[in-house]
A and B are shown apart, each in its own frame.
Chain A
């Protein structure tokens, strides 16, 4: 195991650092790494929302292209890379689809089985994926359900209330509690 101490620690470089490299010097290597990690997840996210696979692929391309073009406006002290990329993908979908709603195929009703990171996907190993995956697994089922409906089934509070037949106030408090729990996990310093 030579070179462990000397090799550049790129495998653990958080994705926000990659975006900074893109902003500072148009680093194509950094872009490729970011693409490999995020494009498949953005596609996955969009397909859960009912976007057809080809369109989801195109929007994933568009999302990462936007990251490249707008890397200068990304502020790593204010948001995580995943947060920024999530908002880009979310906005592109809203702009493109103009709310033509489709029912997403439901194979995994909760919508987000935590995925074990493969070795070549370890880019974000220190980021939030694993911890939040565990945190979701630890949420009470009724909170996990509303989170999945809100983020991956395109449902507003009142639509969720209608769908699961509960008062709006109950949906609100479930989402509020779930959000607080998940944010508490995100706020913990990774060991």
Chain B
């Protein structure tokens, strides 16, 4: 697999490392990190400082039996881990939540389009998988708040730019676009949106209530 060409902004990588990035956005950034060593290094730099800061903190007072409790707990057998969902050989390495959503919550969105919700909240933010068949276009739309996308398989064209597996994109309300699926295969993306899309034409308005994005 070739390295991704489109990366999250350094500020997003920092927010990921410091822990302040919200859950839905975090999931999409993690999709890109799984295949991008360069961005993983940038996150690791932030985490290194986070660890060092942890060292500077004054020790909080623990309950008197805290250590005894911990020592008792390590003797217990670990909880049974639920088996991680099987990776998809035709996708880049995807977060387990995304694989699970694809397996169990996939639903029809529109002709050639499926959606699988992954996480919701806080507020109106949500993350989901979006599968669009080869040759199709998304309804022309814009956003309220930011939208982050990481391609898991296939590719889409947005204006002059092609986004393939592992590529990351972030758009906001200043962007009005109509991504078009290129190549001869379905394109599946991991998406986090702060708000519902704002469709720009009647087809989109018609489908939106059904698709739920």
Contact = CB atoms under 8 A, between A and B. Distances in A.
A42 interface: yes
Interface string B27-48: 0000000000000000011111
Interface centre among B19, B46, B58, B69 (most CB of A within 10 A): B19
Given A65-B73, A80-B48, A133 B122 contact: no
Interface size class of A (residues with CB under 8 A): 35 or more
A115 B57 contact: yes
Interface of A: 28, 31-32, 35-36, 38-45, 47-48, 53, 56-57, 60-61, 64-65, 68-69, 79-87, 89-91, 93-94, 98-101, 112-115, 121, 124, 127-129, 131-133, 136, 147, 150-152, 154-159, 168, 171-172, 175-176, 179, 182-183, 186
B159 interface: no
Contacts of B47: 79, 83, 86-87
A67 to B, nearest CB: 10
Contact of A79 (B48, B55, B78, B122): B48
A122 to B, nearest CB: 12
Interface stretch (B60-68, B104-112, B134-142, B203-211): B60-68
Report whether over half of chain B's contact residues are helix, strand or loop; otherwise say mixed. helix
Q: How large is the interface on B (under 10, 10 to 19, 20 to 34, 35 or more residues)?
A: 35 or more
B71 to A, nearest CB: 7
B37 to A, nearest CB: 12
A44 to B, nearest CB: 4
Contact of B20 (A53, A113, A131, A159): A159
Contacts of B57: 41, 44-45, 48, 112, 115
Contact of B62 (A43, A179, A182): A43
B71 A28 contact: yes
Contacts of B21: 156
A65 B74 contact: yes
Q: B20, B45, B50, B74: which has the most chain A beta carbons within 10 Å?
A: B20
Contacts of A68: 74
Contacts of B54: 38, 41-42, 45, 82, 85-86, 89
B11 A40 contact: no
Contacts of A156: 11, 15, 20-22
5 contacts: A83-B48, A93-B19, A115-B57, A136-B53, A152-B53
Nearest to A159: B20
Given A84-B51, A85-B51, A179-B46, 16 more contacts: A31-B71, A41-B59, A45-B57, A61-B73, A65-B74, A82-B52, A91-B19, A101-B122, A115-B58, A128-B55, A129-B55, A132-B56, A157-B12, A157-B14, A168-B11, A176-B10
